[in-house]
A and B are shown apart, each in its own frame.
Chain A
Amino acid sequence: MSRLGGRLRWETAVTALLVAVFAGGAGFSPDFANGDNLSFALDDLSEIALIALPMTLLVVCGQVDLSVASILGLCSALTGRLWDAGLAIEMIIPLVLLVGVGCGLVNGLLVTRLGLPSLAVTIGTMTLYRGLAYVTLGTGAISEFPVAYTDLATSSVPGTPIPYPIALFAVLAVVTAIVLHATGVGRSLFAIGAQEDAAYFAGIRVKRAKLALFVVSGLVAGFAGVVYTLRYGSARADNGLGLELTVIAAVLLGGIDFDGGRGTLGGVIAAVLLIGLLRNLLMLNDVSTEVQSIVTGLLLIVSVLTPRLIAVAREARGRRRGARTAAPAVVP
């Protein structure tokens, strides 16, 4: 929705940048554009990509969930704990997902019933859930998960470089895109983000929508916890530490307005891929970790700043033009 200059959409710019990085990478480094490497780079994005979907919906709605990485950690710790206790993995996964739903429900209830800002609530629960993760598993690690499942988390769909978690992400992304951009539900989320009171008076069940989004966010974060655990074959309470910031960075870079009400899921998907491929490309070229984080940071600042600057510039231009047309009327 946010437009650069005349017709160029922000998400088009991000997609163009993604294509440029990909093409540049393929030309620059022979190891970049081969199936193995792309499969690694994509697999590395699994949890970020999955969590970015509900996060997009939340931010469109003017909300944010900072507790996702902690829910991931808690679910990872719990997976390890239950596995160690001898439960079947097929039993553990639904249980853990239920815990994810529970975490999301707590967030949602605190936001909707007590009317607290989601930023404050989820900063609190971020610490709370991470604490619970440590209570669950202490500082140890559980490993030796069944190979059939760890393979599922790391291997690719036969004949493609696409890892299974990313294939699942693709399916969910299509579903989310349809919901957000082609249904009344999606339109009501944009309406809530743009003007919550107006949306309420237009008859949208604002609280119910928010509550549902937090629950879905918890569910997906919990699922990402299972994916993370199986992908690394190691359940730990500190798994995914700091991941929420990468997710939010991707959402903002994707052109979702942090104040809510604007943006497209396509932009976010392009941004997730851009962050992942850029990181992979920098690594392949032995760029140090410090420079990598500087690049990601700058990209984020530019993404937040550019639309604002353009808006300010356009406003200034509009005012000048307004003054010029008004001038003859003043002078007799």
Chain B
Amino acid sequence: MTIRLRAPRRPAAVATAGVLALSLAACGGTTKDSSSRSGKGASGGTASADPNAPLKKGLKLAFLPKQVNNPYETIVDEAGIAAAKEFGGEAKEVGPSDASASSQVSYINTLIQQRHDAILIAANDENAVCGPLKQARSKNIKIVAYDSDTNPQCRDLFINQASSEEIGRSEAKLLAEQIGQEGEIAILSATANATNQNTWIKFMKDELAKPEYSKIKLVKVAYGDDDDQKSFQQTQGLLQAYPNLKGIISPTTVGIAAAARYISASKYKGKVVLTGLGTPDQMRKFVKDGTVKQFELWDPKNLGYLASYAAAALSSGQISGAPGEKFKAGKLGERTIGANGEVILGPPTVFDVKNIDQYHF
């Protein structure tokens, strides 16, 4: 075996650098300020709407949740799939197993290939999904965001579970009442980029800034990434780091269930108040054993139902997505498209030991 003595891999490195340098030298300076931004909210469709158009039969809808196997999103999607049957369409749920920003992109591309009439998406990152969604819209596929919005330029409609303001403020109020308007509190959120959680937290903070809550101090916003184990550990960490913590708000169903599981088996049970957004099935035992007194949620089945009807109305040409347009959403009755292409589902329901047995989802 003869081996030549030479600097290893230099030709390849030089070639790599060369190609990169070429690609760099091509243009002058492009900065954030110089690059043109399309600030216009292009949320309205281009086609004119015919409010009396019947819902088309055989529409193909696809639900793309933040991740599959998230019990909450499963409920939403299943209700949406059932709704599609009501108007003679077919729907399915596909999605990634992790809630990362990029994982939804390949699914959108796949759905475009499969030529669906509408894609209903709960976005993990409002911008990362934008490119492929725009591509879908250019092929006349309607985009309905639900649960977590995308950048408004990239979808036709957003089905808002409740007004974000109402959810944020009401959660802060629920907690404030239970801790007697004073003490240290923390928030256990989903991923740091979840659009909906961040909006709610903004309104929680705003609510807590009111004079009547001046003795409440928000000490930390922790992120459990909508992962059961991580949320569990974050709860543990919060309670250890802040021994005077009086309450935790977890505006995510994964987070609140994990936090309740930790608190119910710890010395903090009955001392630390936990509230937020949870599903009755997940929270039932924690409400009954006294770990949690009150929590809230909209009815996720209605969310999926409304999203399905909205997608059908768009695909059938009843609406184009412009504010002020109205459409009929089956048993839910008429809904009007609000500013920014949003359709609001309604106010959240508060669950406690008295009413929880009436709900099963």
Q: Which residues of A approach B to under 8 Å, CB–CB?
A: 31, 34, 36-37, 40, 44, 57, 83-84, 86-91, 93-94, 97, 138-141, 143-150, 154, 168, 171-172, 175-176, 178-179, 183-185, 187-189, 191, 199, 202-205, 208-209, 212-213, 215-216, 219-220, 223, 228, 232-234, 236, 238-239, 241, 279-280, 283-284, 286, 288-290, 293
Across-interface contacts of B191 in A (CB, < 8 A): 139
| B41 CB–A CB distance under 8 Å | no
Report the interface size for chain B: residues with CB under 8 A from the other chain. 58
Indicate if the CB atoms of A188 and B97 lie closer than 8 Å.
Answer: no
Indicate if the CB atoms of A289 and B68 lie closer than 8 Å.
Answer: yes
Across-interface contacts of A178 in B (CB, < 8 A): 11
Across-interface contacts of B107 in A (CB, < 8 A): 283
Q: A232 touches which one: B8, B96, B114, B128 (CB < 8 A)?
A: B128
Q: A143-B127, A212-B13, A223-B20 are in contact. List 17 more A-B contacts (CB 8 A).
A: A44-B106, A83-B31, A139-B223, A141-B127, A148-B27, A150-B131, A176-B12, A188-B4, A189-B8, A213-B8, A215-B13, A216-B13, A216-B16, A223-B16, A232-B125, A238-B101, A283-B107
Which of B37, B113, B151, B191 has the most A CB atoms < 10 Å from its CB? B113
Q: A31 touches which one: B17, B114, B125 (CB < 8 A)?
A: B114
Do A202 and B16 form a contact, CB below 8 Å, given A31-B114, A233-B127?
no
Q: Which residues of B approach A to under 8 Å, CB–CB?
A: 1, 3-13, 15-17, 19-20, 24, 27-37, 68, 92, 94-97, 100-102, 105-107, 109-110, 112-115, 125-128, 130-131, 151, 191-193, 223
Do A90 and B193 form a contact, CB below 8 Å, given A141-B127, A284-B114?
no
Closest to B107 in A: A283
Do A236 and B101 form a contact, CB below 8 Å, given A140-B192, A172-B15, A216-B13?
yes
A189 to B6, CA, bound (A): 11
Indicate if the CB atoms of A203 and B13 lie closer than 8 Å.
Answer: no
Q: B20 touches which one: A97, A147, A228 (CB < 8 A)?
A: A97
Indicate if the CB atoms of B109 and A184 lie closer than 8 Å.
Answer: no
Closest to A215 in B: B13
Q: A212 touches which one: B5, B9, B97, B114 (CB < 8 A)?
A: B9
Indicate if the CB atoms of B31 and A86 lie closer than 8 Å.
Answer: yes
Indicate if the CB atoms of A84 and B32 lie closer than 8 Å.
Answer: yes
Do A216 and B192 form a contact, CB below 8 Å, given A141-B127, A286-B92?
no
Q: B15 touches which one: A88, A145, A175, A215 (CB < 8 A)?
A: A175
Closest to B94 in A: A286
Closest chain B CB from A36 CB (angstroms): 7
Indicate if the CB atoms of A213 and B96 lie closer than 8 Å.
Answer: no
Indicate if the CB atoms of B9 and A185 lie closer than 8 Å.
Answer: yes
Q: A204 touches which one: B3, B35, B36, B92 (CB < 8 A)?
A: B3
A167 to B107, CA, bound (A): 23
Which of B95, B128, B151 has the most A CB atoms < 10 Å from its CB? B128
Indicate if the CB atoms of B97 and A179 lie closer than 8 Å.
Answer: no
Indicate if the CB atoms of B33 and A86 lie closer than 8 Å.
Answer: yes
Across-interface contacts of B3 in A (CB, < 8 A): 184, 187-188, 191, 199, 202-204
Across-interface contacts of B110 in A (CB, < 8 A): 40, 280, 283-284
A86 to B291, CA, bound (A): 49
Indicate if the CB atoms of A36 and B113 lie closer than 8 Å.
Answer: yes
Q: A141 touches which one: B4, B92, B112, B193 (CB < 8 A)?
A: B193
